[in-house]
A and B are shown apart, each in its own frame.
Chain A
Amino acid sequence: EDQVTQSPEALRLQEGESSSLNCSYTVSGLRGLFWYRQDPGKGPEFLFTLYSAGEEKEKERLKATLTKKESFLHITAPKPEDSATYLCAVQSHNFNKFYFGSGTKLNVKP
């Protein structure tokens, strides 16, 4: 069964304290793995797409990596404005079908 598991559920960091979020997946044929940021009361906002193992993408303090079984979202020297829920999703070869994890709620304290 296709599924996505994210850990930890919640993460509290001090400003400047780097860490990583994990997304483990099982899918019958990966078309793509997506990372989103969701702020309270808003819809998810697209961050990255990764298509194959070994691929990496960076945007400001965020870096996403992909292996055959999991993806990591590395946050370097986070700031309070990075506080949000980070969602991971996979798209299977069952075209247009997306599976989301339940997210990691990140809180960065000043």
Chain B
Amino acid sequence: DTAVSQTPKYLVTQMGNDKSIKCEQNLGHDTMYWYKQDSKKFLKIMFSYNNKELIINETVPNRFSPKSPDKAHLNLHINSLELGDSAVYFCASSPTGTGNNEQFFGPGTRLTVL
């Protein structure tokens, strides 16, 4: 009965590879997000989708491509991985239109690029 789940939890890969991280929420929320947390614990928003539509696309290299097949899923594909992509990536979801916009986070995916 996990609310927001991510797979995999750990991802170790070589520079130049392509990898994907999957996210699913069973909370019935309309909005989903991807965040990057660097070594200083700073969480920075990357993308936000509302009901499968991209609404926030921060200054992120176009090697990063989110995909939302339905409003319960938001996947993140990363092409040509670089050393600087090493971080923890968090997926989150929130209800919208209710005035109560707290986000619920997944457990994170620790990506290590060698």
Contact = CB atoms under 8 A, between A and B. Distances in A.
Contacts of A89: 43
A97 interface: yes
B101 interface: yes
A17 interface: no
Interface in A30-49: 31-32, 34, 36, 38, 41-46, 49
A102 interface: yes
B96 A43 contact: no
Q: Name the prevailing secondary structure of the B interface residues.
A: strand
A46 B104 contact: yes
A20 B38 CA distance: 25
Nearest to B105: A43
A97 B56 contact: yes
B102 A46 contact: yes
Interface residues of B, number: 27
A45 B105 contact: yes
B40 A102 contact: yes
A100 B42 contact: yes
Interface of B: 4, 31, 33, 35, 40-45, 48, 50, 55-56, 90, 92, 94, 96, 100-108
